[in-house]
Homo-oligomer: A and B are copies of this chain.
């Protein structure tokens, strides 16, 4: 007998994962080149050479007992955290120190850590549809309650009026994700300032601390030189969650960090709580070799040209076929309107052409589908004739 909370989870599992495993299955039958698997956000750009070089250098130069042993602090190596802080300060004009950085097991691990540190049962966490469906599970892990702001399907920017009305005295946190999964939008500075003003007003009105959690694994995947604001500069009670999964193509290695600035309310306790949560949730510390790797690779520029070409090719191709979609400015997803109201029907139709998409209802936004374009360029090119056949079904 599994636990009751898990019964529902197991039954409903993950549509993204299901599609991904379906894609692997189809690839075995039809050959990978004949399957257009746009389901999982698994980066197709290889990790930069600097990662391999860093690992080999570390193996050759460091004492293995130190390299593979538990770190002194659950937050990670002090020199790594110091380097991360300095890198952020240099890039964004912030003022972080090593103590503000907690190395984490990916962004997913970091979100679990910060939510465990913050949430009491019944606390509300606001998310903006469409949003990464796992937020719902992370919040549920700590008996929080997700409050959704409905999607603005014109722009996929946050609906600030609705946001303001849905902040209550129980609102503990707000999660934003920009560049965004699944839409690819970037929130401009203007939007951030307005959000911050609303949250400040509500904090004063209720006498509460409302934490803004900025989940930003796609920060470096921003096209056309668009600026991605650094949110701690706009709102004091901001916690940043980051991961190298997309920027260094290391999703399987599970390495990221949390930033808990001194300016955040109760920051000292929050940092201590994040350390303890890291330990008792079983992470103990972020993987040690990878901590040192990311330090060595802090200045590596993510090559986004690959994703950018895919973005242009797929977006233009789908628009020409009559599909509706805003042009994403970041991340590696297109959020396309389904030609029929029930997008799961559309996903089923697409599967006939070996095109795998994820239904928007997985992201709290039915009527849309997510297309992950972190795939080979050839996959994009070869999929377009199939999309054309699919589109023809709906003329």
Q: Which residues of A contact B (CB under 8 A)?
A: 1-7, 9-10, 13-14, 17, 20-21, 24, 40, 42-47, 51-52, 55-56, 59, 63-65, 67-74, 105-106, 108-113, 116-120, 123, 134, 137-138, 141-142, 209, 249-254, 265-266, 269-270, 272-273, 276-277, 279-285, 287-290
**What chain B residues lie within 8 Å of A70 (beta carbons)?**
40, 42, 251-252
Known: A9-B273, A252-B288, A281-B281. 15 other contacts (CB 8 A): A2-B117, A2-B270, A2-B273, A3-B120, A6-B276, A24-B72, A42-B70, A45-B65, A47-B64, A47-B68, A68-B249, A68-B250, A109-B283, A134-B280, A281-B282
Chain B proximity of A127: nearest CB distance (Å): 15
* Cβ 8 A contact of A46, one of B20, B42, B65: B65
Q: Which residue of B lies closest to A63 (CB)?
A: B46
**What chain B residues lie within 8 Å of A290 (beta carbons)?**
287
Chosen A-B contacts, 5 in total, with CB atoms closer than 8 Å, are A1-B265, A13-B272, A52-B59, A138-B280, A289-B289
Q: Which residue of B lies closest to A123 (CB)?
A: B3
**What chain B residues lie within 8 Å of A73 (beta carbons)?**
21
* Cβ 8 A contact of A3, one of B72, B116, B252, B265: B116
* Cβ 8 A contact of A284, one of B106, B120, B272: B106
**What chain B residues lie within 8 Å of A5 (beta carbons)?**
116, 120
Chain B proximity of A116: nearest CB distance (Å): 7
Chain B proximity of A142: nearest CB distance (Å): 7
**What chain B residues lie within 8 Å of A272 (beta carbons)?**
2, 10, 13
Chain B proximity of A207: nearest CB distance (Å): 11
**What chain B residues lie within 8 Å of A44 (beta carbons)?**
65
* Cβ 8 A contact of A64, one of B21, B46, B289: B46
Q: Are A108 and B282 in contact (CB under 8 A)?
A: yes
Q: Are A251 and B68 in contact (CB under 8 A)?
A: yes
**What chain B residues lie within 8 Å of A6 (beta carbons)?**
116-117, 273, 276-277
How far, in whole Å, are A357 and B59 apart by their CA atoms in the complex? 32
* Cβ 8 A contact of A141, one of B43, B108, B273, B281: B281
Q: Which residue of B lies closest to A256 (CB)?
A: B282
How far, in whole Å, are A283 and B3 apart by their CA atoms in the complex? 19
* Candidate in A105, A142, A249 with the most chain B CB atoms within 10 angstroms: A105
How far, in whole Å, are A287 and B251 apart by their CA atoms in the complex? 9
Given contacts A65-B43, A117-B6, contact A209 B1 (CB under 8 A): yes
**What chain B residues lie within 8 Å of A64 (beta carbons)?**
46-47, 51-52, 249
**What chain B residues lie within 8 Å of A266 (beta carbons)?**
1-2
* Cβ 8 A contact of A280, one of B43, B106, B141: B141
Chain B proximity of A306: nearest CB distance (Å): 12
Q: Are A254 and B117 in contact (CB under 8 A)?
A: no
Closest 8 CB pairs of A and B: A252-B288, A112-B282, A108-B282, A109-B282, A137-B280, A46-B64, A2-B273, A6-B273
How far, in whole Å, are A283 and B286 apart by their CA atoms in the complex? 11
Q: Are A105 and B282 in contact (CB under 8 A)?
A: yes
Chain B proximity of A86: nearest CB distance (Å): 22
Q: Which residue of B lies closest to A254 (CB)?
A: B287
Chain B proximity of A311: nearest CB distance (Å): 19
Chain B proximity of A364: nearest CB distance (Å): 17
Q: Are B105 and A2 in contact (CB under 8 A)?
A: no
Q: Which residue of B lies closest to A59 (CB)?
A: B52
Given contacts A72-B24, A117-B3, A249-B68, contact A10 B269 (CB under 8 A): yes
Chain B proximity of A110: nearest CB distance (Å): 7
